[in-house]
Structure 1
Amino acid sequence: MTPVANTDEKHRAAATCPRCGEIGIVKVWPDGSLQPLGQSDFCDCPSSTLRILETDIDERP
């Protein structure tokens, strides 16, 4: 996954699990890693790789 920003700031984004289709909000860290908001796991899938759907509205041109 490519980083969303080249700053030290984290961002919020909508993300989905490609296995089960679960959708939720995640923090996107500068290194591109994702952390589900308000929960420790995004879904019940083992080791799922989340895919970002949309980033914060503020980040759009």
Structure 2
Amino acid sequence: MGNDDKQRAAATCEHCGEFGIVQVWPDGSLQPLGQSNFCDCESPELQVLATDLDHDEIP
């Protein structure tokens, strides 16, 4: 896997506790998957919980 690959990760919002899946970009920025907003917070504080390190094992 190259350094320019993005990863999927589980994340939670520190403000409201909402969980979701995000794309983790090489620069460390997070993009919610399948939605433009992670939660209803005006400025979500997203905390990554876990990442998919081996894409071959994703079902």
Q: Common fold, TM-score beyond 0.5?
A: yes
Q: CA RMSD in A?
A: 1.6
When the two structures are aligned, how many residues end up with a matched partner?
A: 54
Determine what percentage of the aligned residue pairs are the same residue. 69
In structure 1, stretches of 5+ residues that fail to align are: 1-5
In structure 2, stretches of 5+ residues that fail to align are: none
Give the structure-2-normalised TM-score: 0.84
More strand by share: 2
Q: Which has the larger radius of gyration?
A: 2
- Contact 2:7 2:53 survives alignment (8 Å): no
Give the structure-1-normalised TM-score: 0.82
